[in-house]
Chain A
Amino acid sequence: MRCTIETHELTKKFALQKGFTDFFLHPLAKDEITAVEEVNIKIEKGELFGILGPNGAGKTTLIKMLCTLISPTEGTAYVNGYDIAKDSGKVRESIGFITADERSFYWRLTGRQNLKFFASLHNFYSYDAEKRVDELLSLIGLENRADDRFLSYSAGMKQRMAIARGLLNDPAVVFMDEPTKALDPGAAQNLREFIRERIVKEQRKTVFLSTHHLGEAEQLCDRIVIIDQGKIKVIGTIGELKSDLHKPNPTLGDVFVHHTGKEFKEEMAEHPQSGRRRMVHGMHGGRMRGMRF
C-alpha cells in the first residue's frame, strides 16, 4: 500500500526571463531557478504534516506540483495512489487546495453563490450542491453571512470561505498553503484549532500544510519537514528534531539554525506559548462550534 502522499526526487526548475543585456553577454547561459530540488517525502493517512521554511523556500511550488497546478521538471509523486503527471484528473478528484490568496473568489458574488459555482466544478448540482454548501457554511460558521457579497467579508471570513471551498468534494487530502498568512494573531490561532480539531480529528483528513511560522508548525503539526532554498533539510516529529540536538530546552528555532545554518526570520512575531494555552483550553472547553477566525 502506498502512502497517501509520496514524492520521489521531485524537482521544479523555473526558466527565468533573460534580460536584454544578459542575452548578449551570456547567450548560452541557462537562466533558471531551482525552486524545489529532489524532494523525497512520505506522508501517511490522517497525518497533519507541515512544511516549514522561510519565504521563497519552495513551499508553494511543492504544494502546487502535488495539486497538479505546476508540472514538475523531474521526479514523480503520488497523491492518494495516483501519479500527479499521468493521472492528474484522479488526483484532482481526491484533493482540496486552500490558499491564503483571498482574490481567488468572485467578489461580486455572495459566499453561497461562490461555493455553489465551485461545487458544480466538482460535479455537485442542485440539491446535492445546496446540501453540501449548507453543511460547509455551518462548519465554518458563516451561515448568517452566506448571502452577502464576498467583497463585504473580513480577511478571516474570506479565509474560511477558502477552507469551505477546499472541502467541497470531501477530499481525502487537503493542501493548505500558509492558511494563516493573511490573518491577525487571534484569528490565526482560531484557525489552527479549527484545522486540528475539525479537519484532522473529526473529519480524519490528511493535511499537508505550509507555514513560515515556527510557532504554527510546532503547535499544529505531527511531523514537519524543514525546507530551505528548495532542499529538504530534515524531516521528523517536533520531539525527534529537538531531542536530536542534544541540548537542554531546545526550541524549533534552534532546530532550524542547526539544519540550515541560518537564523529563522519570523515575519510577524507571535506568541506560540500563549497560543498553546488557548488551544488546550479550546479543546476542553468545546467551543469549536460557531468558531470565529
Chain B
Amino acid sequence: MICKKAFSFIRRDLVLATSYKFEFFLRLFFIFFSILTFYFVAKLVGGVGMAHLEPYGGDYFSFVLIGIAFSGYLMTALRSFSESIRGEQMMGTLEAMLVTPTSASAIITLSSLWNFIFTSFRVLMYLLIGILLGVDMSNANIIGAMAILILTIICFGSIGIISASFIMTLKKGDPINMFFMGTSELFGGVLFPITVLPEWLQTISHILPITYSLSGMRHALLQGYSLHALAPEIIALLVFSVVLVPSSLLAFRYAVNKAKVDGSLVQY
C-alpha cells in the first residue's frame, strides 16, 4: 500500500516536473558542462596531490566525479523537502493533504521521492560520462555501493526533513540548512580529500555524514572494497541513521502540531 502511495506521489511530481519541459531538459544538458569543467581541472592538477589521493586510487578526476555526483543527494535533500513543504503551505495543498488519513510523516517523506529519483538519474549520468572520459570502475563493489547509497539517502533525507521542520516553524532562516550547506563542501571531502585539512579541522569532517558517504562510495566504486572493508563507513552511516530518522520525524510532527496551534498550515 505504501508503495502505491509512493507511486502516486512520484507520478504527481513527474507530471509537474515535465510540465516545465524546457527546464527539465536544460537541467540534464548542463550536467555535461559541470563534468567537463572538472575533467579539465583534473588535467591541470595532474598528479600534484598524489599522496592525498592514494587511498582513493590516485586519480583526481575519479575522486572529484564521485564527490560532485553524490554530494548532489545532500543538496537535493536540503532543498527539496523544505521547498515542497513551503510551496504546498502557500498553495493550500498541504492542508488538503493533511485532512486525509495519510500521516504527516508519510506526506513529508513521499513528497521528495521524485527529487531523489531525478538526482539518482543525474548521478548515473555523471558516472556514465565519467566512465566515457576514462574513469575506471571495473572493480566496483556494486552491493557495497548500493548499501552506502541507501544509507546516504536515509541520512541526508532525515537532515532535509529536519530542515523543512525548521522552515515550517520559523518561516525563514533555517540553521540546519545553513550549517550543512556551509560546511559540507569544505569539510565533507567533496572536492579534495579531508586529509588535506589541518588535523584539528578534520574533526569537523568526522561529525558530517557526507564524509563517510563519499569516502565509502569512492572505496566501493573505484577500488572495489569488500563489504568488510567498507564496514567503518557503513557503521558510521548506520549510527547517523539511527539518530537522524526518529529525530526528523519527531521534528516534523512538532512542526505540524505547532502549525495547527498557530493556524498556519495554510498561508497567504
Contact = CB atoms under 8 A, between A and B. Distances in A.
Interface of A: 12, 14-15, 61, 64, 67-71, 89, 92-93, 95, 97, 99, 101, 103-106, 108-109, 113, 116-118, 120-123, 125-126, 165, 169
Contact of B260 (A71, A95, A169): A71
The residue in A12, A64, A169 that gathers the most chain B C-beta atoms within 10 A of its C-beta is A64
Contact of B101 (A71, A92, A106, A165): A92
A99 B4 CA distance: 27
Contact of B266 (A101, A117, A120): A101
The residue in A89, A108, A122 that gathers the most chain B C-beta atoms within 10 A of its C-beta is A108
A106 B9 CA distance: 12
Contacts of A71: 257, 260-261
B196 to A, nearest CB: 46
Given A106-B12, A120-B4, A69 B98 contact: yes
A80 to B, nearest CB: 13
Contacts of A109: 12, 15-16
A165 B12 CA distance: 16
Interface of B: 1, 4-5, 8-9, 11-12, 15-16, 19, 91-93, 95-103, 107, 257, 260-263, 265-266
Contacts of B1: 123, 125
The residue in B16, B93, B257 that gathers the most chain A C-beta atoms within 10 A of its C-beta is B93
Contacts of B9: 117, 120
A126 B4 contact: yes
B100 A108 contact: no
A209 B107 CA distance: 28
A92 B8 contact: no
A247 to B, nearest CB: 39
Given A69-B95, A92-B99, A104-B96, A64 B263 contact: yes
B92 to A, nearest CB: 3
A71 B257 CA distance: 8
B101 A120 contact: no
A126 B7 CA distance: 11
A260 to B, nearest CB: 24
A14 B263 contact: yes
Contacts of B261: 70-71
A108 B15 contact: yes
B95 A104 contact: yes
Contacts of A104: 91-93, 95-96, 266
